[in-house]
Amino acid sequence: MDAYIYRLMRFIFLFICLILSIICFLIVFFFLFKSRQINYKILQNHVILALLFCNFILITTELPITLVYSYYGHIQPENDQFCSFWVGYNYSLYDIGLLLITFGSIERYFLIFHERFIRKWRFIIHYPPIVFCFIYPLMFYNLLVNFYPCEAEYDYESYVCGGACYQFQTIISTIDYITNIFSPVVCMVLINIILLFRVIYRKQAMKIANTWRKNRLMYIQLVSISVLYFIIWIPFCIISLIRLFYNPFFLQDVTMLLINYCLYICPLASPLISLVGLPVVRQHLRRLKLHIPWAGHITENRIRPTGIIVLRTMTQHHTVSRRHNDEHQV
C-alpha cells in the first residue's frame, strides 16, 4: 500500500532533512576539531561524540538507500545479498544509537552525583561499554541475518526488504525485541525519571556546593536528546509490542507508511540538540553571527558611539566643574 504519492512526499521530506542535517553535522564537526578549547578527556563528551559519529554514518550511508527505495518504489539492486546487507546494517545502526543513549543516561546519573567513582574506574566502566555498544549490534545482527537457519524470502518492494526471516520465528524475534529494543528504551525512560527527581530533590544542595552550575548543561543536553528518543521510540515500542504478542496486523499500514521512517528523526536532529552541551561550538557560531558586516556596522553605529558620547560628556562635565572650583578658590 506504499502508493506513489506517499513515496514522493516521504522522499522530498527526508531529502530536505538529510541536506540540512549534513550541513549541521559538518558545522559541528568543523568547530569541534578546529577549537583548541575542547578537552577530549572530558568523559561526558565521549558518549555524545560517539552518538554523533554513529548518526552521521547512518544518515550518510543508510538513509540514501531508503531514499532510493522511496524514489523508485523498489530496492536497487534487486538481490538477496543486498537485502541481507541492508537489513543487518539498518538494524545495527539503530541499535547502536539506542544502546549509546541508554548507556549515556546511566553514566550521566553517576557523573552528576558520583563523578569521582566514574573517573577512578573509567577504564573499566566507561570506555569498554562504549566499544561494546558498537561491536555487539554489528556482530549480533550480522550473525542473525546471515546465518540463522531459516529461508529468506525478501520483498524488493518493501522497506528493508520486508525484514529478515528470523523475525517470523516467534522465540528468536521476541528475544531480539526484548533485548535490543524494549529493554534499552524502558531503561532509558526509568533512569531519566530517576535522574529528574534526584536533581529536583538535590538541586538546592547542589547550588550550595556549586556543582549545579557545572552539571547544568550536561543535564539539559541529556534530557533534550532523551526526550527526542522518547517521542520517537516509545510509540514504535508500543506498536511492536502489540503486534508481537496480540495482533500481528495492528496498525500495519501506519507502521509501513509512517512509523518506520519517523525513526530517522533522531539521527537527523541530533547535531542540533547536541549543541546544548557543546558551548564552544555555540560560541563560534555566535562569533560568526556577530562578525557579519551589516550586524557589526549596526553595532558600531548604535551602541558604541552612544557609550563613547556619554563617557565623553561626563568627562567634560567633571573637567568644567574642576575649572570652576579652581577659579573660585583663586
Q: What is the DSSP string of 34-84?
A: H-SS--TT-HHHHHHHHHHHHHHHIIIIIHHHHHHHHHHSS-SS-SHHHHH
**Residue 59 per-residue DSSP state:** I
47, 104 contact by CB (below 8 A) = yes
C-alpha cell recorded at residue 75: 530496492
CATH 1.20.1250.20 given to domain 4-290: no
Q: Which residues of the chain have pLDDT under 70?
A: 1-2, 35-42, 203-219, 276-330
pLDDT for 301 equals: 37
Tell me the whole-structure pTM to 2 decimals.
0.80
Closest Cα to residue 28, out of 45, 42, 41, 16?
45
Question: How far is residue 106's CA from residue 229's CA, in Å, rounded to a whole number?
Answer: 15
**Residue 316 per-residue DSSP state:** H
Question: How far is residue 75's CA from residue 71's CA, in Å, rounded to a whole number?
Answer: 9
pLDDT for 210 equals: 56
Question: What does residue 164 show for φ and ψ, rounded to 5 degrees?
Answer: -80, 160
270, 47 contact by CB (below 8 A) = no
Domain boundaries along the sequence of the chain: 4-290, 293-329
Which residue matches cell numbers 530517522?
264
pLDDT for 296 equals: 40
pLDDT for 204 equals: 65
Question: How far is residue 304's CA from residue 307's CA, in Å, rounded to a whole number?
Answer: 5
Q: Where are the beta strands (DSSP E) in the chain?
A: none
What's the alpha-carbon Rg for the chain, to the nearest Å? Answer: 27
Number of Cβ atoms within 10 Å of the Cβ of 241: 15
